[in-house]
Amino acid sequence: MRAPVRLLLPLLGVLAVLAWAATFLLNSMTRAWFERDVATRSRLAVAGARDAFAAHLASADRRRLGALLDAMSRDEHIAGAAACAPSGATLARTRTFPGGLECEVLGASVATTRDAHFSAVRDGRAVRVSIVPVMDDGDLLGRVVLVHDMTYAAHRDRAVGRLTAGMFGIVAALAALLTYLMQRFSWRSWTHELRRVLFMSRGARPERSTRGPFQPLLADVHRLVAELASDESRASSGPWTAERLQATLERSLHGEGVVVLSNREPYLHERTADGGVKVVRPASGLVTALEPVMRACSGTWIAHGSGSADRDAVDRDDRVSVPPGEDAYVLRRVWLSPEEEQGYYYGFSNEGLWPLCHAAHVRPTFRAADWQHYASVNARFAEVASREVEGSDPIVLVQDYHFALAPSLIRDRLPRATVITFWHIPWPNAERFGTCPFAKELLTGMLGSTVLGFHTQLHCNNFLESVERFLEARIDRERQAVVLGGRETLVRSYPISVEWPSEVARRVAPAADCRRSVWAELGLARDALLGVGVDRLDYTKGIVERLQAVERLLERFPRLRGRFTFVQLAAPSRSLIESYRALEANVEALAARINERYASGTYRPVVLLRANHAAEVVFRFLRAADVCYVSSLDDGMNLVAKEFVAARDDHRGVLVLSRFTGAARELREALVVNPYDLEESSGALAAAVRMRAEEQAERMRAMRASVAELNVYHWAGRMLTDAARVRRDGRLSDRLSPVLRAASEVHG
Judge contact between 123 and 98, C-beta under 8 A. yes
- Nearest to ligand ADQ of 423, 470 (CB atom): 423
Of 157 and 643, the one with the shorter C-beta distance to ligand ADQ is 643
Nearer to ligand ADQ, 141 or 460 (CB): 460
Long-range contacts of residues 637-641, Cβ cutoff 8 Å, at least 24 apart: 637/285, 637/424, 637/455, 637/495, 637/496, 637/497, 637/661, 637/662, 637/663, 638/285, 638/662, 638/663, 639/285, 639/288, 639/289, 639/496, 639/497, 639/498, 639/663, 640/534, 640/535, 641/667, 641/670
Are 466 and 435 in contact by the 8 Å Cβ rule? The answer is no
Selection from 461, 452, 406 nearest residue 433 by Cα: 461
Toward ligand ADQ, which CB reaches closer, 573 or 682? 573
Specify the stretch interacting with ligand ADQ by CB under 6 A; choose among 430-438, 589-597, 638-646, 668-676: 638-646
- By C-beta, is 92 or 290 nearer to ligand ADQ? 290
The binding track of 571-610 with respect to ligand ADQ, each residue x by CB under 6 A or -, is x---------------------------------------
Smallest separation, CB 645 to ligand ADQ (Å): 12
Q: Does 658 bind ligand ADQ (CB under 6 A)?
A: no
Please, what is the minimum distance in Å from the beta carbon of residue 637 to ligand ADQ?
3
In this complex, which beta carbon is closest to ligand ADQ, that of residue 613 or of residue 725?
Answer: 613
Helix (H) or strand (E) segment spanning residue 11: helix 3-48
Q: What is the nearest approach in angstroms of ligand ADQ to the Cβ of residue 114?
A: 43
Strand 654-658 and strand 627-630: pairing? Answer: parallel
The H or E element that residue 123 is part of is none
Q: Which of 26, 144, 303, 618 binds ligand ADQ (CB under 6 A)?
A: 618
Interacting span for ligand ADQ (CB under 6 A) from 2-10, 50-58, 297-305, 629-637: 629-637
Query: Least distance from C-beta 304 to ligand ADQ, angstroms?
Result: 16
Site for ligand ADQ (CB under 6 A): which residue of 643, 666, 669, 698? 643
Contact present, 433 and 356 (Cβ < 8 Å): yes
- Distance between CA atoms of residues 717 and 733, nearest Å: 24
State the virtual CA torsion across 661, 666, 667, 668 in degrees, nearest 10: 100
* Residues in the chain, total: 748
When CB distances to ligand ADQ are compared, the closest residue is 285
612 lies in the binding site for ligand ADQ (CB under 6 A): yes
Give the range of 16-24, 183-191, 429-437, 639-647 binding ligand ADQ by CB under 6 A.
Answer: 639-647
DSSP 600: B
Each residue 531-570 as x (binds ligand ADQ by CB under 6 A) or -, in order, gives ---xxx--------------------------------xx
Min separation Cβ 587 and ligand ADQ, Å: 12
Closer to ligand ADQ by CB, 618 or 667: give it: 618
Cis omega (within 30 of 0) on the bond before 266?
A: no
Question: What angle in degrees, to the nearest 10, is found between the helix axes of 285-297 and 712-747?
Answer: 60
Distance, CA of 350 to CA of 370 (rounded, Å): 11
Q: Which is nearer to ligand ADQ, 496 or 633 (CB)?
A: 496
Over the window 110 to 129, marking each residue x when it contacts ligand ADQ by CB under 6 A and - when it does not, the resulting string is --------------------
DSSP-assigned states of every residue in 478-546: TTTEEEETTEEEEEEE------SS-HHHHHSPPHHHHHHHHHHHHT--TT-EEEEEEEES-GGG-HHHH
Q: Is 603 helix (H, G, I), strand (E, B) or coil?
A: strand
Q: For residue 151, report the phi and psi dihedrals to the nearest 5 degrees.
A: -60, -35
CB 599 within 8 Å of CB 605 = yes
Backbone angles phi, psi at 73, to 5 degrees: -80, 10
Contact with ligand ADQ (CB under 6 A) among 37, 310, 351, 635: 635
C-alpha 173/C-alpha 189 separation (Å) is: 18
Nearer to ligand ADQ, 67 or 640 (CB): 640
| Phi, psi torsion values for 537, nearest 5 degrees | -75, 90
**Separation of alpha carbons 223 and 29, rounded Å:** 17
- Please check whether residue 631 is in contact with residue 681, taking contact to mean a CB–CB distance below 8 angstroms: yes
Tell me how far, at minimum, the Cβ of 644 lies from ligand ADQ, in Å. Answer: 9
Q: Tell me how far, at minimum, the Cβ of 11 lies from ligand ADQ, in Å.
A: 56
Nearer to ligand ADQ, 408 or 631 (CB): 631
Distance, in Å, from the CA atom of 661 to the CA atom of 638, rounded to the nearest integer, reads: 6
Alpha carbon distance, N-terminus to C-terminus of the chain: 21
> Shortest Cβ distance from residue 721 to ligand ADQ (Å)?
19
Q: Which of 433, 498, 425 is nearest to 661 (CA)?
A: 425
If one asks whether residue 640 binds ligand ADQ (CB under 6 A), the answer comes out as yes
Q: In this complex, which beta carbon is closest to ligand ADQ, that of residue 68 or of residue 534?
A: 534
Restricting to residues 487-526, name those near ligand ADQ by CB under 6 A: 496
Q: Tell me whether residue 637 or residue 678 sits nearer to ligand ADQ (CB atom).
A: 637
Q: Which of 31, 43, 469, 613 binds ligand ADQ (CB under 6 A)?
A: 613
* Cα–Cα distance measured from residue 191 to residue 178, given in angstroms and rounded to the nearest whole number: 9
Residues 705-744 that bind ligand ADQ (CB under 6 A): none
Judged by CB under 6 A, which stretch of 28-36, 110-118, 178-186, 283-291 contacts ligand ADQ?
283-291
Restricting to residues 284-323, name those near ligand ADQ by CB under 6 A. 284-286, 288-289
- Minimum Å distance from CB 633 to ligand ADQ? 12
Nearer to ligand ADQ, 98 or 533 (CB): 533
Asked whether the beta carbons of 680 and 553 are under 8 A apart, the reply is no
- 350 belongs to the binding site for ligand ADQ (CB under 6 A): no
Nearer to ligand ADQ, 284 or 682 (CB): 284
Q: Which is nearer to ligand ADQ, 73 or 638 (CB)?
A: 638
Q: At its nearest, how many Å lie between ligand ADQ and the CB of residue 622? A: 8
Query: Which of 130, 638, 681, 721 contacts ligand ADQ by CB under 6 A?
Result: 638
Q: HEC profile for 136-194?
A: ECCEEEEEEEEEEECHHHHHHHHHHHHHHHHHHHHHHHHHHHHHHHHHHCCHHHHHHHH
Query: How would you classify the pairing of strands 606-610 and 564-571?
Result: parallel
In the list 116, 174, 259, 283, the residue contacting ligand ADQ (rule: CB under 6 A) is: 283
Binding residue count for ligand ADQ, defined by CB under 6 A: 25
Closest CB to ligand ADQ among residues 637, 719: 637
Gap between the Cα atoms of 600 and 561, Å rounded: 9
State the minimum distance, in angstroms, from the CB of residue 662 to ligand ADQ.
Answer: 6
Q: How far is the CB of 615 from ligand ADQ (least distance, A)?
A: 7
Nearer to ligand ADQ by Cβ, of 193 and 635: the residue is 635
Question: Would you say 620 or 727 has its CB closer to ligand ADQ?
Answer: 620
To ligand ADQ, the closest distance from the beta carbon of 668 in angstroms equals: 18
User: Applying CB under 6 A, does 637 fall inside the site for ligand ADQ?
Assistant: yes
Q: Which of 49, 436, 591, 639 binds ligand ADQ (CB under 6 A)?
A: 639
Distance of alpha carbon 16 from its chain centroid, rounded? 42
Q: How many beta carbons lie within 10 A of that of residue 110, not counting itself? A: 22
Instruction: Report yes or no: 146 and 129 within 8 Å, Cβ to Cβ.
Output: yes
Q: Please report, as residue ranges, which positions from 400 to 459 form the binding site for ligand ADQ (by CB under 6 A).
A: 424-425
- Beta carbon of residue 357, minimum distance to ligand ADQ (angstroms, whole number): 9
Residue ranges in contact with ligand ADQ by CB under 6 A: 283-286, 288-289, 424-425, 496, 534-536, 569-571, 612-613, 618, 635-640, 643
